[in-house]
Structure 1
Amino acid sequence: MLQVHQFPCLSDNYGFLIRDEATGVVACVDTPDAHAIARQLDDLGWSLDMILNTHWHPDHVGGNQALKARFDCEIIGPAGERDRIPGLDRIVGEGDGVQVGESQAEVLHTPGHTLGHIVYHFVDQQLAFVGDTLFAMGCGRLFEGTAEQMWDSLSRLRQWPTETVIYCAHEYTQANARFALSVDGQNAALRRRAEEVDTRRAADEATVPTNLALECATNPFLRADDAGLQSALDMPGAPPASVFAELRRRKDVF
């Protein structure tokens, strides 16, 4: 089993420390803030064996070198971004497995936010670390990839078991909910969730992790092939990738 320790970093990132209970091996998923991560490790009495990077953006790899200098940990990251990730020791890509002690993550290549972005899916534990590909009620901006690529990436994640727990990298949920309501306001499940999110954020509670069932029901970016949402966008019968592109366009200026 994996123990997951989540904590806020920077202005809206989350840090994730994962510990394989059978072996005591500890990994950090991305490194938004080396000092915050080291402080959490010290408080927990853990060392750091490995870093699992999802993509090259500075708020995901900025702490790599400092943590490696202190803990002599292995840094693992996407093959497609090998030249942009500091301290990288091992590259992985689609279909590779990464062992964290006795727990294994399956690597999926999910281009869209960046071209080399990967996610780590711990199949047996039914949890996944998705970086900036998927957010609670949202998805990452298309900084490098195309709408077609991102829709394909999200469609693949949507095929996971619905009980899969999703750890996304940012606390964007409240803003995402406001946008989702603007395009899918007749969705009763979405309206209920938006109210719950407002309550949790008013109490300064995290809205991450989420789960795939909830996202499939309320995240417009996973529902670009839904007839009701297409009609609400005045795009009935349009190709899902085109509907997704329109959703992303609207969100970028919302």
Structure 2
Amino acid sequence: MPLDIVTVPCLSDNYAYLVNGPDGVAVIDAPEAVPIIAALDARGWTPGVILLTHHHGDHVQGVDEIKARYGCAVMGPEAEKAKLPPLDAALPDGMSGGSGDGAMTVIAVPGHTLGHVAYHYPAAKAVFTADSLMAGGCGRVFEGTPEMMWDSLSKLAALPPDTMVYSGHEYTASNLRFALTIEPDNAALRARADDVARANAQGRPTAQAPLSLELDTNPFLRARLPQVKAAIGMADASDARAFAEIRARKDRF
């Protein structure tokens, strides 16, 4: 049974995801209960679990209402157990579960928060990255260090390039506007920015993209490349230092 993945817009620019597979229905992040419940009920789905990526309120504030309605379990990163809503299971880095396309592995991706995780479904070629790797960008480094975030992004960049990346916010247009300040002559980036502008005009979400596209257009994943280091005047810098400079520029953008 292939995964049926539903993107659920929440709040002003957040996304939750419904994942229906051979092991049942999972809700990945719960920014807001009402739209998630509406999406579930419209499909006649009952979630068995809510999977949380990190502790920030705009990813967890719908948990209590969804759990009360459906009686589902709540799981999230072991490293943030004390900061999350009460968990039925705390998930360590590398833990795996599920079957077939529903087989899932927890990947620790600290940086945005110290315990942030991503959920990778290798057979289904999908990864849910929330505020770590984002469409055309990455999350702010609030709790970790740039080196930590670079290591996390490098883990995600090493996944198969045909992996679909499902991120947590509709920030793509602004991320690509910034990316063009780093690589204005990147043809793939210019084409992506045009595609995103058309999608936004039509009200279509853009925070879901193949990893191959991120590798071609996302300056945070491309910090290792000589041409990107040269573009920011850091030809001899380490990959992590180049990433830190790009992140600092985005913070000021």
> What's the TM-score once normalised by structure 1's chain length?
0.96
Q: Which runs of 4+ in 1 moved over 6 A?
A: none
**Conserved? CA contact 1:163–1:212, under 8 Å:** yes
1: distance between equivalents of 2:100 and 2:53?
A: 19
Q: For 1:102-181, what aligned pairs fall within 5 Å after superposition?
A: 103-181=102-180
Return the letter of the residue paired with 1:32. Answer: P
**Which residue of 2 is the match for residue 10 of structure 1?**
11
* Partner SS, residue 87 of structure 2: coil
Q: Paired residue for 2:58?
A: 59
* C-alpha displacement of 1:32: 0.4
Q: Return the alpha-carbon distance in structure 1 between the equivalents of residues 167 and 67 of structure 2.
A: 23
Name the aligned partner's letter for residue 108 of structure 1.
I
Map Cα deviations across residues 161-192 of structure 1 (whole Å, 9 max, x no partner). 00000000111000001000011112111111
Within 5 Å, which residues of 2 pair with 1:240-251? 240-251=239-250
1:218 alignment counterpart = 217
Distance 2:28 2:61 in 1: 12
Return the alpha-carbon distance in structure 2 between the equivalents of residues 37 and 204 of structure 1.
18
Q: Distance in 1 between matches of 2:207 and 2:61?
A: 22
Aligned amino acid, residue 156 of structure 1: K
Deviation per CA, 1:37-87: give whole Å up to 9, x if none.
111111111111100000000111111111111111011100010011112
Q: Does structure 2 conserve the Cα–Cα contact (< 8 Å) formed by 1:61 and 1:86?
A: yes
* Residues 51 and 73, structure 1, Cα contact 8 Å, conserved in 2: yes
| Conserved? CA contact 1:10–1:33, under 8 Å | yes
Contact 2:3 2:101 in 1 (8 A): no
Computed over aligned residues only, the root mean square deviation of the Cα atoms, in angstroms, reads: 1.2
In the superposition, relative to structure 1, how do residues 197 and 169 fare at CA in structure 2: closer, same or farther (>3 Å)?
Answer: same
Aligned with 1:220: secondary structure? coil
Query: What residue in structure 1 maps to residue 195 of structure 2?
Result: 196
2:73 is matched with which residue?
A: 74
Instruction: Indicate if the aligned counterparts of 2:133 and 2:167 stay in contact, CA closer than 8 A.
Output: yes
Deviates further, 100-109 or 200-209: 100-109
What's the CA shift for 1:98?
3.3
Work out the number of aligned pairs and report it: 252
What does residue 88 of structure 1 align with? 87
Unaligned runs of 5+ in 1: none
Aligned partner letter, 2:9 = P
In 2, Cα distance between equivalents of 1:159 and 1:144: 23
Q: Percent identity of the aligned residues?
A: 45
Query: Distance between the aligned counterparts of 2:101 and 2:160, measured in 1?
Result: 21
